């Protein structure tokens, strides 16, 4: 089984991916964990691309993260594509809750040395820059091109209903 989870920042993709990977016992790659270096520095594009390509060579996998310019073949290779298409204000709320929860800490879904932050540039990304016309068209393209394997979530209720439908028995608390 090969699963890809993509969508808007702070929509709950990483938490969902961890739950699904645990449920199906799949190796999990959080692209944020390899895209960033310490103190939120960006790593070399070729290095990140190589790590993703090496990861998708496995027989089974789960990947959390869009990063649309990296290893695009993962979209064709996945058996299931989950798209988190949440309202921008729900995503901002998720970022605020996460910031409070992980104040001055490093999440396990991000690179070491990247303490949780919520600055103006990230807020702007959540509300505007991450939702450009091109970004919206890309998500629409994925929904259409992969319609036979795509599942779109617009809210946490839909996510939890899905998790119940597959027999997930863990926590439903979002991190």
Per-residue pLDDT of the chain (175 residues; tens, 9 = 90+): 999 999 999 999 999 999 999 999 999 999 999 999 998 999 999 999 999 999 999 999 999 998 877 778 999 999 999 999 999 999 999 999 999 998 888 898 988 898 888 999 999 999 999 999 999 999 999 999 999 999 999 999 999 999 999 999 888 776 5
Query: Does 167 reside within a domain?
Result: no
Q: Please report, for the domain that includes residue 76, its CATH number.
A: 3.40.50.300
pLDDT value at residue 67: 83
Residue 72 lies in a domain: yes
* Angle, in degrees to the nearest 10, between helices 88-101 and 120-127: 150
Q: Is residue 125 part of a domain?
A: yes
In a domain, 93, yes or no: yes
Q: Round to whole Å and give the CA distance between 170 and 168.
A: 6
- pTM over 0.75, yes/no: yes
Residue 166 maps to a domain: no
* 27 domain-assigned: yes
Q: In 31-167, which ranges are E strands?
A: 61-64, 80-84, 150-153
Q: How far apart are CA 152 and CA 85, in angstroms?
A: 7
Residue 171 lies in a domain: no
pLDDT the model gives residue 174: 67
CA distance 72 to 49: 10
Residue 33 counted as domain residue: yes
Q: How many domains does the chain have?
A: 1
Structural domain for 132, as ranges? 2-157
């Amino acid at each position: 089984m090969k699963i890809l989870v993509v969508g808007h920042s702070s929509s709950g993709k990483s938490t969902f991916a961890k739950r699904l990977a645990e449920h199906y016992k799949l190796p999990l790659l959080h692209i944020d964990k390899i895209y960033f270096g310490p103190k939120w520095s960006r790593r070399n594009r070729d290095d990140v691309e190589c790590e993703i390509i090496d990861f998708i060579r496995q027989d089974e996998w789960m990947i959390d993260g869009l990063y649309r310019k990296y290893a695009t073949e993962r979209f064709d290779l996945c058996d299931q594509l989950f798209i988190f298409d949440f309202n921008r204000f729900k995503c901002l709320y998720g970022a605020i809750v996460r910031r409070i929860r992980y104040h001055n800490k490093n999440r396990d879904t991000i690179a070491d040395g990247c303490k949780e932050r919520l600055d103006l540039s990230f807020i702007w990304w959540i509300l505007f820059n991450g939702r450009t016309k091109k970004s919206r068209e890309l998500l629409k393209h994925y929904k259409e091109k992969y319609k036979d394997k795509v599942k779109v979530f617009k809210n946490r209720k839909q996510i939890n209903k899905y998790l119940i439908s597959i027999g997930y028995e863990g926590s439903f608390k979002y991190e």
